[in-house]
Amino acid sequence: MSTSIAIAQPSAAASRPWYAQLWVHVMAGMAAGVLLGIFAPQVGERLQPLGDAFIKAVRMLIAPIVFCTVVVGIAKMGDMARVGRVALKTLIYFEVMTSIALVLGLVIVNIWRPGAGMHLDARALDTSAAAPYIALAPEQGAIPFLLNIIPATIAGAFAEGNVLQVLFVAVLFGAALSRLGERGRPLIGVLDAVCAALFRVVGVVMWAAPLGAFGAIAFTVARFGTDTLLSLGELLLSFYVTCLVFVFCVLSVVAWLCGFSLLALMRWIREELLIVFATTSSETVLPRMMTRLEQLGCRRDVVGLVIPTGYSFNLDGTCLYLATTTVFLAQATDTPFTVAQQLGLLAVLLLTSKGSAGVAGAAFVVLAATLSAAGHIPVASVAIVLGIHRLMSEAMTPTNLIGNAVATVAIARWEHALDERELQRHLGKR
């Protein structure tokens, strides 16, 4: 694809006056949602379909965009050894960063101890609301997750919208197309044009982002209100602080080493951050993130491999959530949890955290799976945090998004696939 075609819309948006830009409209929608949720909660609770409809509209575009972008990127690259090298570097980076996130989460929750003194009896909890998530827990884990990367059928990968399955098919198809040489060029041109058209459709769908943010925030505020915040406020506060520490003390170091300012990058993706904060779904901005990172100078084939893979393997916010919440539940239920047991938990989380994509309420399901695998903490205790899971997601999903944005720039630099002039032009000098 002519990259200029794919990024025309964001560039045009940047030239509009501030009051006509998407991020302003999204913030206005969020503010209106908060007010409605506070003053008319019964109306606010009925607006959840607005947020759900927006998420579905974007999700329907993810599979074809990932497929076309990755196939064209690999086919034009032509060097499969290089594809394998990028993939290996990507997985190494992801494993290092998620390990750091897990360790940081465990350290802070042990120092802060937000669950100490609650003395909750897990046997007395009402687990009916959490039962569907607990039932899915045995199906999670590293082996089922890895096997699920291979779709039952090619069409099934697209029908289910499983990003990793689509990525798997796209890599195979791109590799085959690159070996066709001249015979494959007409098909590459067709996929290029389809990709450009799909990005135009994303631009159209994004006009509904303020409405989706309005509905999602109105529902969240109306449903959970202030009572939930007060009862588990210390857990929420500790988790939000943990996410901020990771972003500004870990990711900012990576950004500094790569020669750019993390704050400048966050300003660059501010619209995407607002959307995922409101909808608590990072999938809503996957296509836009690919476009925005190409604009920064990251080469298209690297973006096409790193971003979709990162949505399953580089969930820094989810790792922080799992580590924090697991230890919190042990503290809240007075369950003894030694240092040795927590190191065992760390090993479990390194596996279970990779399976937190492609499932409704994924992080919560994986939390139940982690408790089941660890064996020390009652699985039924997950009911304690079910009520605030969505509120925790409002810190978790932006952290995931920032982590994947930094990862893409870092790996592009590592692979010498980063246009430094474009990066400095958009983000300025460090």
User: Tens digits of per-residue pLDDT, 218-270?
Assistant: 887 887 665 555 667 889 999 999 999 999 999 999 999 999 999 999 999 99
- Asked if 219 and 48 count as a contact pair (C-beta separation under 8 A), the reply is yes
Q: Are 311 and 282 in contact (CB under 8 A)?
A: yes
The answer to whether residues 130 and 254 touch, using CB atoms and an 8 Å cutoff, is no
Angle at 232 between CA 220 and CA 42, to 5 degrees: 30
- From CA 395, how far away is CA 241, in angstroms rounded? 9
CA 286 to chain centre: 9
309 has a pLDDT exceeding 70? yes
Q: What is the pLDDT of residues 176-191, one digit of tens each?
A: 888 888 888 889 889 9
Q: Is 428 helix (H, G, I), strand (E, B) or coil?
A: coil
Q: What are phi and psi of 418, to 5 degrees?
A: -125, 125
Q: Greatest CA span in the chain, whole angstroms?
A: 69
- Say what percent of the chain tops pLDDT 70: 83
The reported pLDDT for the residue numbered 358 is 42
When pLDDT is averaged across residues 180-208 and rounded to a whole number, the result is 88
Say what angle helices 80-112 and 389-414 make with each other, to 10 degrees: 140
Class of domain 3-427: mainly alpha
Contacts of 7 (CB under 8 A, 6+ apart): 291, 294, 295
Lowest mean pLDDT among 142-146, 326-330, 377-381: 142-146
- Would the pLDDT of 17 be above 80? no
Helix, strand, coil tally for the chain in percent (to 5): 80, 0, 20
Residue 136 has a pLDDT of 53
Task: Please state, in angstroms and rounded to a whole number, the distance separating the CA atoms of residues 8 and 15.
Answer: 11
Per-residue pLDDT, averaged over 160-177, amounts to 85
Instruction: Look over the chain and give the mean of its residue pLDDT values, rounded to a whole number.
Output: 82
pLDDT of residue 225: 64
Q: Which residue has the higher pLDDT, 291 or 385?
A: 291
Q: What is the pLDDT of residues 7-16, one digit of tens each?
A: 444 444 556 6
pLDDT reported for residue 361 = 56
Adjacent-strand bridge partners of 418: 298
Confidence at residue 7, expressed as pLDDT on a 0 to 100 scale: 42
Share of the chain above pLDDT 90, in %: 29
- The residue that leads in pLDDT, 110 or 350, is 110
Q: What is the pTM of this model?
A: 0.82
pLDDT at residue 296, as a whole number: 93
What length is written for the chain? 430
- How many Å is the Cα radius of gyration of the chain? 21
pLDDT tens digit sequence for 338-348: 888 888 888 87
List the structure tokens of 321: 């959530």
Q: Which of 25-34, 89-98, 173-182 comes out lowest in average pLDDT?
A: 173-182
> What pLDDT, on the 0 to 100 scale, is given for residue 171?
87
What whole-number distance in Å separates Cα of residue 259 and Cα of residue 417? 14
Rounded Cα distance between 197 and 42, Å, is 40
DSSP codes of every residue in 222-238: HHHHHHHHHHTHHHHHH
Confidence of residue 359 (pLDDT cuts 50, 70, 90): very low
Using the Cα atoms of residue 363, residue 310, residue 401 and residue 317 in order, give the sign of their dihedral: positive
Taking residues 60-86, what's their average pLDDT? 82
Per-residue model confidence (pLDDT) at position 429:
64
CB atoms within 10 A of CB 57: 18
Tell me the per-residue pLDDT of 280-308, one tens digit each, with 9 for 90 and over.
888 889 889 999 999 999 998 899 889 98
- The pLDDT, as a whole number, for residue 141 is 57
Contact between 213 and 26 under an 8 Å Cβ cutoff? The reply is: yes
> What integer pLDDT is reported at residue 227 of this predicted model?
56
Name the DSSP class of 334.
Answer: T
The mean pLDDT value for 398-412 works out to 95
| Minimum mean pLDDT range among 84-88, 264-268, 381-385, 395-399 | 381-385
